[in-house]
Amino acid sequence: MAANAGSYNAGSSMDTDTADRELVVTRIFAAPRQLVFEAWTDRDRLERWWGPKNFTNPVCEIDPRPGGAIRIHMRAPDGVVYPMSGIFQEILAPERLVFTSAALDADGAPMFEILNTVTFAEHDGKTSLTLRAHVSKTTAAAPRHLAGMEMGWSQSLDRLAAEMSR
């Protein structure tokens, strides 16, 4: 069901002019780079940490290779499910991941598209992770969802840190 992130349903109107938003976050993890990288590419590990605090991932499917799909349904504590899909663009283990992600509306149409670039640098047994999330396309429904992007990634990376200490 993972749609090609470059194609959109005819009913959705994507706007590239207003999609000039970028988030850059850097975190240090007390774990080797290979382990942190694997937490992004191993389905079971990704399922445990992806999403904001107290969210679960009843659907977590990844095919971590260029052209492979990612599909995650995040369930909020109130039971609302937020589906997303995307495509891996580049994988250079254990240094870099590039993938698109799109939050899907009730009809499965993307509300926005983000190009995510994650880099992993090891320093003295710790890993410096830098996430660059560039919003490349949006719809009218996007702003309310994108408003929580920084907090969502911050909480997700907190959960990744906890996963690294398991």
Q: What string of H, E and C letters represents the secondary structure of 28-45?
A: EECCCHHHHHHHHHCHHH
> What is the average pLDDT across 85-104?
98
Give percent above pLDDT 70 in the chain: 88
Contact 90, 98 (CB under 8 A): yes
Q: Is the pLDDT of residue 6 over 70?
A: no
pLDDT band at 166; cut points 50, 70, 90: confident
> What is the average pLDDT across 77-104?
98
What Cα–Cα distance (Å) separates residue 101 from each residue in 23, 50, 75, 125, 128?
Answer: 14, 13, 17, 30, 22
pLDDT band at 43; cut points 50, 70, 90: very high
Q: Is the pLDDT of residue 7 over 50?
A: no
Contact 141, 27 (CB under 8 A): no
Question: In a 3-state reduction of DSSP, which class is residue 146?
Answer: helix
Could you tell me the pTM of the whole model? 0.87
Task: Dump pLDDT digits (tens) for 23-35.
Answer: 999 999 999 999 9
Q: Which two tokens stand for residue 68?
A: 């492979």
Q: Name the residue among 62, 49, 55 with its Cα closest to residue 129.
A: 49
- Location of structure tokens 């504590």: 77
Per-domain residue ranges of the chain: 21-164
Task: Please state which of the four CATH numbers 3.40.50.300, 3.40.1380.10, 3.30.530.20, 3.30.1490.20 is assigned to the domain occupying 21-164.
Answer: 3.30.530.20
Cβ neighbourhood burial of 37 (10 Å; 0-12, 13-18, 19+): buried
